[in-house]
Amino acid sequence: MISYIYITILLIATISASTHLLPFSKCPKEDFLRKCLDYYIKGSVNFRDDLFAYNVDLNIEYNKLIIHFPVAFVHPVDILDIQNTIKCGAEFNFPIVARSGGHSSECYSIGDKDCYLVVDLVNLNKITVDVTSQIAIVGTGNTLDSLYYKVNLYGFAFPGGVCPYVGVGGLILGGGMGHLSREFGCSSDNILDAQIVLANGTVVNNAKEYPELLWAIRGAGNAGYGIVTALTLRIHPIQKVATYFYLTYDLDQTPLIISIMNQMGNNLHQNLSFIMRILTSGSQPYIYGIYLGSADELQSHIHEFINLSKPKNVSYIEGDLYELFNIEGISPEDGETFKLKSFFIDSTGLSEEGVKCLMKFRENFKCELGFEIALLGGRINDIKRNETAFVHRGFMYHMIITSIMPSEKCLQDLENFSQYFQLKYTNYESYQNIIDRQLDNWQYRYYGESFEKLVEIKRKYDPYNLFRWNQSIPTHI
């Protein structure tokens, strides 16, 4: 009882602090929406006056930097529930967002302001594996961890992200890059088909019968085309043994490490992931990755890199791929606030001046800061830019800068640095799954020359822009 009262008081205080809402104040037409949902929906529906359940839903958001207060969280148990939720939301003019794991780093999975209607897909969590066809049909309420585990049981793998805790829907539909991407492509490259509930309530059971829609959701599917309820994915048979490796360095070796990565990155075996991290102000750089094969095979592919870069320690762990995925599966702490910035670096790599600029910023930044530089190439770059809506091809690296618990000054300093760094040392484009509400000209940084085509498709399938937020695909340019 004490803990329940405490949580209740805490939520009341949080809602009271919002500049938009007083405790239990209602959104326009909220009573009409409630009656509609009560009548049609079989799954649970949590409005703000159901404090405990609503707070549980709200706290799924990993980033507490930006929190809004949806009118309600709907947990559909089937497709009909989703259709009826769309019907109710549209009738009373509530914008709708779908949530698959709370993946959005800017909390767009609860909208971009108060009074959105959230469709939480957590109950749509079935996974069916067809070994003969080498496909998996995956409900978008699953996490990557669930998908990795299930396909691994059958001797298969799927190229998802490096953090198993995120939801499959947001990550796969927006691109998805991780340990197996150099070998098998981005997650979205492996979408074969999808089931989608459109804004008019129509269910598209086979997106491949709508080629332009299938093209759009392979890279921009988390940007407002409908509620994707299931994905048909290509899965890949793998060796029984994989190897995780871990190389540690001193901080002053950072320029050398990146220089050698620039030299060798395009030629490293594509059956190998290669990620450099400097996580906090006091930590040392390290490189880690996963190779689909034995440690002996791996060493033959990276011995030259090790000889040139001179790590302080070298470790190898052979094992089951699923278990290795979880070694570096970093997740934010509960209640944490953070800000992410995304950069693509061209095929020549990050320049010496770019490295100096990065390290100087790290030294002078007053809040906790981390960097991650992931080697791309391989199958990612074999696919043409406009073959799918994921246009980011031909790059050597993707880099993420993370600030943890940033102050207002640190947020501004990070923004100023990011604009300068991207102008001087990286490509113009950024990754839509590391979405950034401060990013200027995001339409073309995320979607490049495909943006206008994406707008046309959006206008066709969601003409009244029911599925919308600050950085969703609009209906007009």
Domain ranges within the chain, ordered by starting residue: 2-120, 127-238, 242-445
pLDDT at 15 over 50: no
Residues 297-306, mean pLDDT to the nearest whole number: 97
Distance of alpha carbon 41 from the chain centroid:
29
Stronger pLDDT, 66 or 429, i.e. the higher one: 429
Fold classified for 242-445:
Vanillyl-alcohol Oxidase; Chain A, domain 3 (3.40.462)
Distance CA 125, CA 144 (A): 11
Contact 222, 180 (CB under 8 A): no
Q: What pLDDT score was predicted for residue 373?
A: 98
> pLDDT band for position 328 (50/70/90)?
confident
pLDDT at 8 over 60: no
pLDDT at 403 over 90: yes
pLDDT at 20 over 70: no
Specify the CATH class of 2-120 in words. alpha beta
pLDDT at 16 over 60: no
Stronger pLDDT, 371 or 15, i.e. the higher one: 371
Q: What pLDDT score was predicted for residue 97?
A: 97
Q: Which of 240, 306, 297, 238 is nearest to 269 (CA)?
A: 297
Q: Do domains 2-120 and 127-238 have the same CATH topology?
A: yes
Distance of alpha carbon 385 from the chain centroid:
20
Q: What pLDDT score was predicted for residue 104?
A: 81
> pLDDT band for position 102 (50/70/90)?
low
> Which CATH entry fits the domain spanning 127-238: 3.30.465.10, 3.40.190.10, 3.10.450.350, 2.60.40.420?
3.30.465.10
> pLDDT band for position 281 (50/70/90)?
low
In this prediction, what percent of the chain has a pLDDT beyond 70? 93
Q: What mean pLDDT value characterizes the chain?
A: 93
pLDDT at 220 over 60: yes
Residues 299-326, mean pLDDT to the nearest whole number: 97
Q: Which of 474, 465, 475 is nearest to 89 (CA)?
A: 465
Contact 188, 199 (CB under 8 A): no
Determine how β-strand 127-130 pairs with β-strand 275-278: unpaired
Q: Which of 170, 165, 161 is nearest to 145 (CA)?
A: 165
pLDDT tens by residue, 366-393 = 999 999 999 999 999 999 999 999 999 9
Residues 200-226, mean pLDDT to the nearest whole number: 97
Q: What pLDDT score was predicted for residue 65?
A: 86
**Using CA atoms in the order 432, 438, 441, 446, what is the torsion angle rounded to 10 degrees?**
0
